[in-house]
Structure 1
Amino acid sequence: MENSRVQQKSSYKVKVEKGKTYFLCTCGLSQKQPFCDGAHKKVGQVKSLKYVATESKEVFFCGCKKTQSQPLCDGSHSKL
């Protein structure tokens, strides 16, 4: 997300459960990173990103908000 605040320069390792829906922060303002807490409502046109787990496993969600493969980390934080 181009105008998002960098929350951290690394990924968030999260165990997801098959079939469960997760709403991820895209603005960088949430106090429950990497998940959305509604803080984006203060900045306007940004909204959370819906992610549905297709299997139970560990995933690496982006922490810098600059990935090209939202919501998963692609290593973009290494260029910050």
Structure 2
Amino acid sequence: MNNGERAGERAIAVEVEKDKSYYWCSCGKSAKQPFCDGSHKGTDFTPLAYKAEETKKMFFCACKQTNNQPFCDGSHNKK
């Protein structure tokens, strides 16, 4: 599968809550970045589920080029 559209050029910091599930937008079309709002419908993309193991700040990928989905791995810095 191809990577989604770039939705930003920096990671998005989110304070996640232990045991809560989050659905990362993989297509890049969501208006609620970094999370899914259903904009992928009609495409081959689906959101990626992530369940927080602890309450802490996590850095979700916005460029959609990461090799560590749903988290930023610095791919936005690679040209």
TM-score normalized by the length of structure 1: 0.93
Percent identical across equivalent pairs?
51
Specify the SS of the correspondent of 1:39.
coil
More helix by share: 1
Please, which runs of 5 or more residues in structure 2 have no aligned partner?
none
- Residue 59 of structure 2 corresponds to 60
Q: Which residue of 2 aligns with 1:31?
A: 31
Matching of residue 18 in structure 1 with residue 25 in structure 2: no
Structure 1: gaps of 5 or more residues: none
TM-score, normalising length: structure 2: 0.94
Give the Cα separation in 2 of the matches to 1:65 and 1:22: 16
C-alpha separation in 2, matches of 1:32 and 1:63: 11
